[in-house]
Amino acid sequence: MCSDGYLCATTITTLDYLISKAINKKQAKVEIKKLLAIFRIAEVNSKVLELSINSKFADFENAVQYYSGECCNMNGLVARNIKDYKNTSLPVYTPEELWGIEYFPIDK
């Protein structure tokens, strides 16, 4: 089994909103339950928000996602637009790049 994958807590609320609008609230709940069974959730707490608001990120939401991962000691971050994550200490991958990574630590 691969190492744990995390989703930022704010991602869950965004997905609930988008799925509810595109399909319906009942289906959104079903899909969120699936995600919660697969992924761990990276917290958004006062430390994450303080780091985010005081960061040099142009986009607050990107900052929250980044610092949520950093505070959980993630090995990296996956984002569609990696240019928004310049000068960060965590490596940032596109979804396509993530598929190309050959090494995933194995939990036994």
- Check if the beta carbon of residue 77 is closer than 8 Å to that of residue 84: no
Domain that holds residue 92: 6-100
- Nearest residue to 40 (alpha-carbon basis) of 14, 13, 9: 9
11 in a structural domain: yes
107 in a structural domain: no
49 in a structural domain: yes
92 in a structural domain: yes
50 in a structural domain: yes
d(CA 33, CA 31): 5
80 in a structural domain: yes
Q: Is 51 exposed, middle or buried (0-12, 13-18, 19+ CB in 10 A)?
A: middle
1 in a structural domain: no
81 in a structural domain: yes
Kind of pairing, strands 92-93 and 77-78?
Answer: parallel
How many structural domains compose the chain? 1
Given this model, what pLDDT does residue 1 score? 32
**What is the mean pLDDT, run by run of 10 residues, along the chain of 108 residues?**
76 96 97 94 97 96 96 92 91 86 54
Given this model, what pLDDT does residue 2 score? 42
